[in-house]
Structure 1
């Protein structure tokens, strides 16, 4: 069987699912239930990263002193699961997946979240079978902006990192993809539009505007804007 030369690798949070906006709503509700306000700018700046960048549960626990960070995180995750049950993939995701499958392009996921925050949702969307490779924070020592997730995804997909076209919604994600040597399409969501996406090879306002022919020509045509 011949080795594929190209593959598409998608971020999950904010790209496949609207989890970033959903988490913002959950955290705002959690903070306000304890008469506090979520530090919006700090949270937005941490998008695409980990709790090491900004831990809202530690922050809230220090403010309210009536509950520990672990208890607050458990409350938030319960709220998130309830809301997520009503969610669907973001517009354009199913179309992109169908186009890739029609062309025989391998598909993967590269997420800084843990597997338990990615795989169940892909399965609920009916998309898990479309992504034979799902790489998460559980699989690598360093998450984005380090290149580890993309390098491992490339290895598992059987392609050179330079043959990957990554789809990302955050500055950290774009930096990770580029550090791995991949091409990158930035698709900012409402919370990350202020991020610096200058390193991306292409920027789209929405995944619904994605033309796979244009995307696959990026490697030959150079930086497309």
Structure 2
């Protein structure tokens, strides 16, 4: 990962246009080729970004070079112009001014998120019981690897189409966003597309359900005790 803290201006062109005036920001260039620009607020959410796979070219700007034709709000302090191209033809142009920090770090292979006992067991139980989601559904792989992280479960439905399942103990908006990123990446693969999504949890917050529904993601509330065989409907009095 490369981390750069610098004065920068950012211009995005694609499905819409967006402009970030010159200011001091953090730029992250990850090993998966993604690029994101962060302010010193908003928690983890970037101001702008380009999802992988993408390519980046760097143009050195010599003192006195006129770069006003390609950028806005430019002054004589611009030293580089980064052009990041996304898979859909969109572009992110980052005009770099004064650089305060520039370093690269090798993170190695990430072991992935270690889930708590209940969540990890819930994932294992659902892998053993894919028909929880529908008759004829089959498990393809647990922890299916993607360049941006592992999908909890990769299944095939009764029509033979791939389904990515994100498993949470408590379903919140962050989990829906995570699954959305997986689906966006997986659906770029013509050998897998179309890939649909299922958000599975013991409890799903209304806001998360609304967001999932808006994005075409199905929500499944899972009974943990029933999966473990501790809640047999035939033994209930009512």
TM-score by length of 1: 0.32
Q: Which has the higher contact order (CA 8 A, sep 6+)?
A: 1
Structure with greater proportional helix content: 1
More strand by share: 2
